[in-house]
Structure 1
C-alpha cells in the first residue's frame, strides 16, 4: 500500500485549512472528530462527525455496503 501526505483529487489546503481559525500563529485544521473540552479542562472524544476516515489521502467508510437489517439487498 502506498502512502501520501496530500489529499488525492482535491485541494488539500482548501479542504482542511481554508476558513479555519488560527491559534498562536498556527492554522487549525478540520479533522472530522467530535471532541468536547469539559469545565475541568478534560477532553471527551465522542467519535466521528461522519462515517468516513481519510487513509493516506483516500476517503473510506466504515459503514457496510448493505446494512444487516436489509438482508434482501445483499
Structure 2
C-alpha cells in the first residue's frame, strides 16, 4: 500500500462529510503542502470526529496553531 493510499485510508471517518472533505483535500491539495503542513494534517487526523466537526462546522479553533492553520486551509480550499 502506498503512502497516499494509507493517508486516504486514514481519511475514512465515521462521518460521511469528513470522509468527503478530507478525501477531496488529499486529492486536490495535499501534494502541494509543506512538510510542516503535512505533519499538521496528520495530527488533525488523530483527533476524534466530534472535535473535528467543531473545527470545520462551528468555528472552534484547535489549540495547536499548526493544526488550526491546516483546518483554515482545508476550509478555504472547499
Larger Rg, first or second structure (1 or 2): 1
Q: Which has the higher strand share?
A: 1
TM-score, structure 1 as length reference:
0.22
TM-score when normalising by structure 2: 0.21
Higher helix share: 2
